[in-house]
Amino acid sequence: MTFKIGVVTFPGSLDERDAQRAIRIAGAEAVELWHGDHDLKGVDAIVLPGGFSYGDYLRAGAIAAVSPIMSEVIAAANKGMPVLGICNGFQMLVEAHLLPGGLIRNAHQQFIRRDQALTVENASTAWTNEFAAGEEIIIPLKNGDGGYIADAETLKRVEGEGLVAFRYAGINPNGSLDDIAGLTNERGNVVGLMPHPEHAVEAGFGPDTSEAMRSGIDGLRFFSSALRALAAV
């Protein structure tokens, strides 16, 4: 059977089409979802895409986190549905308290766009099971508010319970505590990260690799991981 993965469009979303494309390349059906609806259209998993929902007003992701569709996303996530938040989507997940901590302006104030090396820390989530723990991958990073912070107690819990999904490798681009680039919840169905897997799914359009320019497709395994997780249910 073909699994359906929904991608929510918010006012100011940018990367929903790339996310839909990544889902199709991975072999699933991409379903468009709308921020103002309460309808998840029967999808099996959800992607909250990158962008600048509501112009990052108030705090990045804060207004989107209280939009109508998010009450359905939160309910589905709490029942175990795989949910991936990319960049602005990660910001929404922390604002919705589905993931712990918060994201603030990059330490050096600048918007950063680079192909970013990450270390996979937790390879047993719904979105990372096709990676190996400790594996290094490269996917694009592009954001202004990517500094991950949490109080000491939360950070200790996040580290102690293995909730760090990805860490920046080689360089910490934005001052994130403990080099944290992405997190999972305890159950492993909700994952959020600042870098963009959906921009590294097709040779010719991904990051450079040692083999060939723009040939990096490390992002594809996020989506194939979700399909594997869904097939295993």
| Residue 108 near another protein by CB under 8 A | yes
Nearer to another protein, 6 or 147 (CB): 147
Taking CB under 8 A as the binding criterion, the range among 7-15, 26-34, 103-111, 218-226 that sits at the site for another protein is 103-111
| Residue 150 near another protein by CB under 8 A | yes
Q: Tokens representing 76? A: 């589905």
Taking CB under 8 A as the binding criterion, the range among 48-56, 106-114, 128-136, 222-230 that sits at the site for another protein is 106-114
Q: Site mask, another protein, residues 9-28, x = CB under 8 A?
A: --------------------
Phi, psi of 89, deg, nearest 5: -65, -35
Quote the Cα angle for 18-23-24, to 5°. 95
Of the residues 72, 87, 130, 199, only one is catalytic, namely 87
Taking CB under 8 A as the binding criterion, the range among 97-105, 119-127, 191-199, 210-218 that sits at the site for another protein is 97-105
Q: How far is the CB of 57 from another protein (least distance, A)?
A: 11
Nearest Cα to 110, choosing from 148, 140, 144, 147? 144
| Residue 104 near another protein by CB under 8 A | yes
Spatial separation of the C-alpha atoms in residues 207 and 38, rounded to whole Å: 36
| Residue 66 near another protein by CB under 8 A | yes
Nearer to another protein, 131 or 148 (CB): 148
| 24, 59, 157, 214: which one binds another protein (CB under 8 A) | 59
Q: How far is the CB of 190 from another protein (least distance, A)?
A: 16
Q: For this structure, is 87 an active site residue?
A: yes
Nearer to another protein, 51 or 101 (CB): 101
| Residue 111 near another protein by CB under 8 A | no
Of the residues 16, 35, 130, 196, only one is catalytic, namely 196
Beta bridge partners of residue 102, listed in sequence order: 149
Which residues are catalytic, by number? 87, 196, 198
Q: Which residues bind another protein (CB under 8 A)?
A: 58-59, 62, 66, 94-95, 100-102, 104-109, 147, 149-151, 154, 175
